[in-house]
Structure 1
Amino acid sequence: MLMTYYECAILEVKTKLDVLNKEFSANTMRNPIASIKTRIKSPDSIYEKLDRKNLDKTLESVQNNLDDVAGIRIICSFLDDIYSVADMLTSQDDVKELTRKDYIKNPKKNGYRSLHLVIEIPIFLSNEKKGVKVEVQIRTIAMDFWASLEHQIHYKKFENSNVESIKQLTDCADTIYETDIRMLNIRQNLLDNED
């Protein structure tokens, strides 16, 4: 039943995001969200994470200790959309923001950039309302491109890595971030010239 709760929580968050995207589009004639990807951690992945953290392998332990069983990745076109979408989502009165990690302003050492939120959202069951945690990652198309390729090249093994490989990945991430900033500036300049 626990996995059903996580699936329902993803449905709730995705519906909220779809509504926000439609409203934003109606008001501004553009969509801040390019795409939304969802996932539920596999039982093997959950077990492995509990084992790695030396935690009890119980349903209660999963609920209390893991924030990323249910995950949503929001891909935005522009940098400023990331923060707009995050603020629109977390300002809703039934969404509780538990944590926020800004890896855009403070990238990881390998260059990874994304805004990570852990939220709690209520799901309404036949006989109760239950708060469920969902990890939300928000990034640009360019950041997602980099993260997807980095994941294939070198998933979670940077402690034992070749220093030159890490430097090259970081350089690529910096170039992509600079491109995101340039694209945002181009859009802003075009909008300013319309006035």
Structure 2
Amino acid sequence: MSNESLLRTIVERAYVERLDAWQTAAVRIKHWLKEQQKGLLKDKDISRLDVDGHRIKDAARTLAKLTEKFDEDPQLEVRDTDDVEDQIRDIVGIKVLCKSPRDQSMMFAALRDPEQLGSFELIESRDYTNPPKASGYRACHVILRIPSDQGKPVFAEIQVKTRLQDAWSELTHEDMYKPGAAMKPSKLHGEFARAMANMLATVDDMADTLAVELTALTDPEHELDPVAMREQRSAIDVRVRATGPKYALAVDGSGRQGLIPAFAVRKLSETKGTIKVSDFIAVDDRLRVSVEEDSKGLYYIPLELPRG
């Protein structure tokens, strides 16, 4: 039997024998990641991290990667299904999408923290954000070993990306850059892809800066400058357009938008500690507010909370 036929037979056997274990491990990791999401974002906007499903690598892709490894190292021994998993450790893959690079860094750190991992074992971690791959690809990868009730442990790759990094992969057909790809990118395609990656990375950095600024403005302990207010305390009616854990966004009759910060809502709720604005104010609520403005923005300070 030729080497190619032998590899194909072993890979096919691996998928028959181990597919159930891979699927079970993927579901287990997803549940664990969602708990991580809740813990890391306690009292924050949980949409900052999104566990974006899982995939089992197609058997043909696994065979192609294994064949390429064998071509690079003819001394490589692949004798059974265990060897397939030892050589190709991303058969099980899960993606976590983040709103910005700071969330990506936070999740990447959690995936390398032994106290967070519990019974999972960190095997390998790679940061492809600084510097990125030559193609422009940016992401953080970790390989974990997951205990299994269905035989030997399962390797799984978790990719942590910002939404824009993931969009780049879709826009540029990132699969074209992978070893063994059927199509090769032209020089022009590669230049465009790298330029797009750099532009999207700049937008990611801007999103980080914006998120930090917004957090500072809406922090429960933030205090408005009484001198800058210059007696701006006229009362008006506003309608709530959006709401979240740390602020609500409202609009007045002339279309001016202002923030309703958490500290103002907490004061009216007579609640101690951290609150979620969305627990007290809903979209389309009508509120009577005082208008306060300083160099950092326009604020609508509610005079009373909506009645439930």
Q: Deviations over 1:69-124 (max 9, x none)?
A: 10111111111111211222332221211111111112011111000111112123
Report the 3-state secondary structure (helix = DSSP H, G, I; strand = E; otherwise coil) of the residue aligned with 2:208. helix
Does the 8 Å CA contact 2:33/2:51 hold for their aligned counterparts?
A: no
Distance in 1, Cα, partners of 2:186 & 2:198: 19
Distance in 1, Cα, partners of 2:96 & 2:121: 18
Distance in 1, Cα, partners of 2:210 & 2:27: 35
Identity %: 22
TM-score, normalising length: structure 2: 0.57
Distance in 2, Cα, partners of 1:100 & 1:79: 17
Q: Deviations over 1:130-185 (max 9, x none)?
A: 4211011110110000011222684436x964333212110100000000000110
Which letter maps to 1:90? R
Report the 3-state secondary structure (helix = DSSP H, G, I; strand = E; otherwise coil) of the residue aligned with 1:64. helix
RMSD over aligned CA atoms reads 2.3
- The residue that corresponds to 1:87 in the other structure is 109
1:190 equivalent in alignment to 2:190: no
Distance in 1, Cα, partners of 2:62 & 2:176: 21
- The residue that corresponds to 1:179 in the other structure is 203
| Total equivalences in the alignment | 192
Aligned-residue offset at 1:26? 3.6
- The residue that corresponds to 1:8 in the other structure is 24
Which letter maps to 1:120? R
Query: Pairwise mapping of residues 158-173 of structure 1 onto structure 2 (< 5 A)?
Result: 161-173=185-197
1:48 equivalent in alignment to 2:64: yes
Q: Greater shift after overlay, 80-89 or 10-19?
A: 80-89
Distance in 2, Cα, partners of 1:66 & 1:166: 27
Distance in 1, Cα, partners of 2:174 & 2:123: 30
Which letter maps to 1:14? K
Distance in 2, Cα, partners of 1:59 & 1:18: 30
Aligned-residue offset at 1:16? 0.6
Indicate the structure (1 or 2) with the bigger Cα radius of gyration: 2
Q: Which runs of 5+ in 2 are unaligned?
A: 1-16, 71-75, 223-308
Does the 8 Å CA contact 2:30/2:51 hold for their aligned counterparts?
A: no
Report the 3-state secondary structure (helix = DSSP H, G, I; strand = E; otherwise coil) of the residue aligned with 1:53. helix
Does the 8 Å CA contact 1:78/1:180 hold for their aligned counterparts?
A: yes
Does the 8 Å CA contact 1:90/1:96 hold for their aligned counterparts?
A: no
Does the 8 Å CA contact 1:119/1:135 hold for their aligned counterparts?
A: yes
1:31 equivalent in alignment to 2:53: no
From the superposition, tell whether residues 176 and 57 of structure 1 become closer, same or farther in structure 2 (CA, over 3 Å).
farther
Aligned-residue offset at 1:57? 6.2
TM-score, normalising length: structure 1: 0.87
1:137 equivalent in alignment to 2:153: no
1:60 equivalent in alignment to 2:82: yes
- The residue that corresponds to 1:104 in the other structure is 129
Bigger helix fraction: 1
Report the 3-state secondary structure (helix = DSSP H, G, I; strand = E; otherwise coil) of the residue aligned with 1:31. helix
Aligned-residue offset at 1:14? 0.5
